[in-house]
Amino acid sequence: MTTGWSNEETFKFIELCQNQPVIWNPKHKYHKDKNKVNDAWARIAEEMLVPVSEIKRKKETFFSSFPAES
């Protein structure tokens, strides 16, 4: 899974991220706690069976593909 992700893997990744609001919700009380955020990324990586570095690269790809509205 290190090159391209299937649609199923991508949807699983999105769902796992949605279940970790500490990552994406700036109002979450632990959003600025790097240890809590890193733990959340580690949980996603463990579930996806890929390294955290690949999970974070995928996140960056998503953010660059879907820029925030102004």
Q: Report the distance separating Cα 36 and Cα 22, nearest Å.
A: 7
Amino acid sitting at position 32 = K
Measured between alpha carbons, how far is 56 from 23 in angstroms, rounded to an integer?
11
Domain that holds residue 54: 25-70
The total of structural domains in the chain comes to 1
52 found inside a domain: yes
pLDDT tens digits, one per residue of 16-58: 999 999 998 999 999 999 999 999 999 999 999 999 999 999 8
Distance CA 26, CA 60 (A): 17
Q: Is residue 1 part of a domain?
A: no
Quick check: pTM over 0.85? Answer: no
Amino acid occupying residue 45: A
Q: Are 40 and 22 in contact (CB under 8 A)?
A: yes
